Structure 1
């Protein structure tokens, strides 16, 4: 017999979320996650994937992964510190370091794991972390796990960051202080003010940490937000994922050799979780090599992003202050945002609604993620559907 207390908690909580328009319905994709997907037998133009460059279905990556399975098998067989490290993992980390312009790199099973691993391996209860108020949930959880004092500064407000850095340095008696920020903020598409952050960090001796999950492969002609600003020699931690623009799965931290050596002996997900599969490792390596060889996919991504953004803005949608291909249509009311998303799906466009707690209350939105794999015809159809549904619902 199961717990009545648990059932009462779960049933009541789920009902409450549904009534407030905050319950997320999970859709099942039937087949590959490309520019067009199939859900419940219906083909939809896909504007909700992080597959920025279309590499998740790239034939060159598929071929590399297939060959790795034939040679290495489907699993790594152990954690990295026993005998789960293969030459494929070493090759991946060497390519990441070259790609990011650092001395070394360490790979993890996911981007979320990176932030849980790296922050808590360096920061502890005697330290403080200055964290942007819109940082990703994995950063927040990583900071909490470290037990350091978390000091939030207003989103991209450099005056507030400077004030709080000065206060923490002068009155906090902390051993170490870190400033941590997303490189590209995933819900709004704006870019962190890294030059100003570095200037403040150097003035107050702050450790710098940039989560570039949505910047790697996107900004800096693909090399990421840190390289976009030419700051690879002045940022301590460059974190990123292998599951968005890179198109596979996993994450990494890039930095100086001594940092990577420390993470290999002190970051718990590295120590206690089986390494990513050989196929994932070699496919990720292949993707990074493609980006280092050519900016063609990156240029197409930006071309498509600008085209969709201009089309939606011309219709009268509020798209915020995005500086990247990420294009939010900010609706406000959560229930309206969810209904808008459902109507788009009915008209053949898959653009998922994003509501609290992923974004602040009252800022419900439909987030659009154009990729290098979309055609102009797909984007034109998307804009036309947005116009139809937007007028129907009185949003424009």
Structure 2
């Protein structure tokens, strides 16, 4: 079976994702689609709108055959580590192709840019350091360095979020000597972070979440932008849990963590750097909600996203030393199976003996510090709920088998 890999968050799965999936299948002539999907917390340092299990169902019901969890150690990282972890999993699954959306839409531009940056790595690193010393955030310093080096050359626009991720996917393939072949599809209509609806059928996940929160979870406000399967799953999640997940749900926990820890304890958390522990405590004392806290905390040097990731690590008590240890080789320790169709099951059966990483369907089957982080992330995600629901959600991490989806009957087996 010809296999296609996609790296996703599906927060939630919308019509733009469906377009990307269908076009990717056409472009690669794929028989089976493997999605590497972030778990309970995402790359921008946010809790997912709904659980990874519901998003797994969204993926399966809309055409994906295998859903694999991208470990927390990569899912909540900057683009380079996020991409490297995902590529290592697709390579471990013997996937043949990977297809990502980009603003550029031409894979040769990605390859040309990577070759150029390899040739000018020392110059680039020096420029990044220089721009950082001027007080710019790392993404801004990197963008300025890149622009300086490539002002007279036709290369990628690395100010665009999907181009940045795509660049790191292709770079990771080269660094890992992966046999994956990369393809890209140009994004249409809505931009990655567009906060408003600009089309009658295509909208960014950001604008969909914004509309849901501004309208008290009213699913009808986003119905035209998501497939029917997503609509039904969002509706069921809302009815069964009472609401979607957002940072405000965890603000009290974050406030407790920040104010009941010493500055020294805070400094041991991943991404708390350069005296941020003191700023964290001062801003938290003055803030009554999450948005107010983040607005006070943000500086020119640190982006909102960078600070959100730091706050996520504070919530999950992710230690610097452990995070650096588990992510230092930029490759996952395992393949965590969340769900599959019958075709996906057949693919896994066919390739199981040749997998490059251990396949995990039960967390009790593997001892791993990386996997421990995933479990802790689920425990934190469950804190939104009241007991006994909270404990029940935590138990799912150990008790829930991979979801199986029968495409012919359009029915989930669990």
Identify the TM-score tier after normalising by the shorter chain: under 0.3
**Normalising by the residue count of structure 1, what TM-score does the alignment of the two structures yield?**
0.25
Higher helix share: 2
Higher strand share: 1
**Normalising by the residue count of structure 2, what TM-score does the alignment of the two structures yield?**
0.24
